[in-house]
Each structure stands twice: as structure tokens, then as C-alpha cells.
Structure 1
Amino acid sequence: MIIAMVSGGGFTWFVDWPSAMIVLGGTFGAVLINYPISDLLGVIKVAKNAFRGKKQQADIVINRLVEMSKISRRDGLISLQRLIQENKERDPFLIKSINLVVDGVDPLHVSEIMQTELDSLAERHRLGAEIFTTMGNFAPAMGLIGTLIGLVQMLKQMNTPGTIGPAMAVALITTFYGVILANLVFLPIAGKLKTKSSQELLLKQLIINGILSIQSGDNPRVLEQKLHAYIAPRERKSRFYHD
């Protein structure tokens, strides 16, 4: 697409700041009407984490949980606290679940607390994807509004035929900006957030079930088999083949 733009005459032909201001200003203005500004500020952080956050590997998390199971069966649940104190565990979600177990919280309450945490995370991710989808829906409409504004201005200058061509081009650029922003920026980000969210939520659910299994004293081999059900067969790597 960029090659086609450049080879057709020049990239500067497609640069028009008033058109960009109409599309961006109109899109963000419409979104501000739909959502409170606090949600918009929060979605920036969600989007940043989606692209910058390092993806956790499910098999690595399973291995950590299996190792925790071995430690807790050998030294008791309280021994898991050392993993946190020694900074061997960095995942806040896993740390919170470990603390609940170490504090002797009933398994049912552990499940409820962590599930609520998971639901809250899912809602933040859903809202982020929804806002970017809304922006993707508004951007082409704002582009069309900009085009109509340009056409009105062009028709007002019909007495000078030499200006019709350039004015028409500027009018169409606004629609171009709206379509580009919607289909190459806003909607892809929304899709990325949905994909990232589904992966993260699955991993958090895996952690919840793993911690509850550790709390109930399940055999590490049994725990591993339970958690392997969450991942594809090709990703399953047992720690017990070499034990």
C-alpha cells in the first residue's frame, strides 16, 4: 500500500493535517461521549501491556506449580512463603493466591477471591477491546463527514475550475484517513487485545486450579496431568520423564 502511494506521485499527496484533525478529533470526541475519561486513560495502559508485556509460557507456569507441589508436600504449605520472600516468584496473581493458601484461607474462599480477581481482569480487557472497536466504527464515519465538508467547500468554488481537482482530492483524503485508521490501527488493536486477553485469562485459570490442587495436597504427577489439559498436546512437557 505504501509502495502504491509513493509510486503514484508522492507520499506528500496523502498528507493533509486538517483532514487528520477532523478524523482523529471527531473519533476521540465521539468516544469521549460514549465512555468516561477514566476508562479511556485505563485502556491506554491495557493496550500498552498487550504489545509490550512479555507472554508467559503455559508450560513454564505448569512446571513452577509442579515444583511448588513437591515443595509443599515435602515441607508444608508454609514453605511456599519462602519463594515470595526470596523473590523467586514475580507474578502478582500467583503471589496473591500463594499468600491466601499460606494464610490458611478456606479453598472455597481462595477460589472465590481469585475468580473475582480474574473476572475483574477480564472486564478491563473486554472494555479495552470494546473501546478500540468503537473507535474503529467511528473513524470511517468521521472520514465521510470530513469528505462532505470538503465537497461543500469545493462546490462553493465551482467558479474556478482549476481548483476543483485539488479540492476533490483533499476531500477524499479524509475518508482515506478514516478507513486507514479503522482497519490498520483501531480494529487490529482491538483484535490483539482480545487474543491477548483470552491467552492471559486461560493462564490465570490454570494458576487458580493449580494452587487449589496444591492446597488439597494432590500428587505432583496428578497436578501436572490436570494442568496439561489446558494446553495443546504438542506443548506438554512432563517433568517426570527424567525423575
Structure 2
Amino acid sequence: MDFSQFWDAGGAAIVLGGTLLATVLASGRREMVAALGSIGQLGQKRFDYEKTRAEIAYDVEIMRHDGVLRGRTVHTSDSEIALVTDALIHDRSIRSLITAHEGFQQRRVRSREAALTPIRHAAEMAPVFGMAGTLFSLSQMRLGEAADMQLLASIAMAILTTLYGLLLAHLVFNPLAQLLERRMLAEESDRQRLINWLAIQLRESCPPSPVQMEKAG
């Protein structure tokens, strides 16, 4: 099979160029930055639950025995976990740990939606510009014996641009969006697991809240 027959530079330029231009015009700067940043992070390791738990285990064990009142910032390479445990230590409250985590969680949800929006938009636009390329190539047809070669070239381009649009949508942009979403949701699940573990480990080490003291009284 001669794969060179499946390449048409003009058709590819119409489909890819049109799709990218429409995506940029339809997306805000924040969304484009978020999408490019998420794609760039695919080559990096995502949040590692086991590694982060091992990093903070010693400091958590100290707080379990000595109490959160004497707690100190945990040693970890993950800045978010350091900040949420700082909130716990500062307020001596599991509620503060959870509230700080939920704040970061909401920020990640917004970032996730911002990152996925341009990619999903590109997946929708690719078949549209495949059809646009088809219509453009058909508009270039010239009937007549002298134009047989040009007619065949136009038909070939019309078929290929439709194919490019479908392949771009279903083999590039849709799989990319699904890959990014799975990666982000997996990280979210692992972060929630760690927060749950922290809450269980340190619940008894926090002093009772005023509400709990009133109930006890």
C-alpha cells in the first residue's frame, strides 16, 4: 500500500489549521494556557499517594504522640499537602485540614474544566473543517476532458479532508481529552485518600473544639 496517496498538504492545512484557529478563537487565554500546561505535564509523574504518605509519616507519627499543639510543618515535596497540614496545625482542627483541601480541590476542578474545554472544542471542530475542506475541493472542480486530472485531484482532496477531520477528532483530540481527564481524576482520588488518612491519624490528637466542649459539658 502506498501511504503517500493518503497525504494532501493543502487538505491537511485546511483541516488542522482551521481546527486550531477555531479553537484559539473560541477559547479564552486562561483555557488555552491550562490546556497547554496539562499537555506539557503528561511527561511528568503525577501525584504519588504512597510516596507522599511515606514522606509525611514520621511527622504525622510525632503529632499522634505529642499532639497537634506541638506539631510542625510536615516535610514533603508536595506543596499542597504542606499547606493543608499547616492549616491543621495552625487551627488545631481537622475541619481546617478538610476546608483547606476542599479549597484546593475546587481550584483543581476549575483548572480541569478550563484545560479540557479547548481540547473538546477541537474534537468538535475537526470534522467540521474536514467537511469544509471537502466543500472547498469540490468547488475547485472543472468539468471537461482537458480537466480530467484536476477533477480527480479535487475528488481525492475532498475524500482526504473528510478523513483528516475524522482521524483528528477520534484519534487525537478525543483520546487526548480522555487521557487528561483520567489522569486528573486519578490524582484527585489519591489526594482525597491521603486527606482521609491524615484525618483518621490525627483526629484524636487535636484538642476538642468549643462546640465539642459545650456538648461534653
- For 2:185, give the aligned amino acid: S
Q: Tell me the equivalent position of 1:132.
A: 119
1:182 paired to 2:169: yes
- For 1:20, give the aligned amino acid: A
Which residue, 136, 139, 149 being the options, matches 1:152?
Answer: 139
TM-score normalised by the chain length of structure 2:
0.81
Counterpart CA distance in 1 for 2:201 and 2:60 is 5
Identity %: 22
Note if contact 1:100-1:110 (Cα within 8 Å) is conserved in structure 2.
yes
Counterpart CA distance in 1 for 2:11 and 2:28 is 26
Give per-residue Cα distances to partners, 1:179-225, cap 9 Å, x unaligned. 1111111000100011111101111212222333344236xxxxxxx
**34 and 147 in structure 1: CA distance in 2 versus 1, 3 angstrom threshold:** same
Q: Secondary structure at the match of 1:54?
A: coil
Counterpart CA distance in 2 for 1:42 and 1:129 is 8
Stretch moving more, 202-211 or 56-65: 56-65
Q: Tell me the equivalent position of 1:142.
A: 129
TM-score normalised by the chain length of structure 1:
0.73
Deviation at 1:35, TM superposition (A): 1.9
Note if contact 1:97-1:211 (Cα within 8 Å) is conserved in structure 2.
no
- For 1:203, give the aligned amino acid: D
Q: Tell me the equivalent position of 1:115.
A: 102
Q: Secondary structure at the match of 2:140?
A: helix
Count the aligned residue pairs.
202
Note if contact 1:71-1:80 (Cα within 8 Å) is conserved in structure 2.
no
Q: Tell me the equivalent position of 1:99.
A: 86
1:162 paired to 2:149: yes
Which runs of 5 or more residues in structure 1 are unaligned?
Answer: 1-6, 219-243
Counterpart CA distance in 1 for 2:53 and 2:93 is 23
Which residue, 10, 17, 22 being the options, matches 1:25?
Answer: 17
Counterpart CA distance in 2 for 1:215 and 1:73 is 6
Note if contact 2:129-2:165 (Cα within 8 Å) is conserved in structure 1.
yes
Counterpart CA distance in 2 for 1:162 and 1:197 is 51
Counterpart CA distance in 2 for 1:21 and 1:161 is 24
Note if contact 2:119-2:174 (Cα within 8 Å) is conserved in structure 1.
yes
Counterpart CA distance in 1 for 2:60 and 2:97 is 17
Q: Secondary structure at the match of 1:123?
A: helix
Q: Tell me the equivalent position of 1:240.
A: none
**90 and 65 in structure 1: CA distance in 2 versus 1, 3 angstrom threshold:** closer
Q: Tell me the equivalent position of 1:72.
A: 63
Q: Tell me the equivalent position of 2:32.
A: 40
Deviation at 1:59, TM superposition (A): 4.0
Counterpart CA distance in 1 for 2:186 and 2:72 is 26
Which residue, 15, 18, 33 being the options, matches 2:7?
Answer: 15
- For 1:29, give the aligned amino acid: L
Note if contact 1:23-1:139 (Cα within 8 Å) is conserved in structure 2.
yes
Note if contact 1:65-1:211 (Cα within 8 Å) is conserved in structure 2.
no
Which residue, 53, 60, 67 being the options, matches 2:44?
Answer: 53
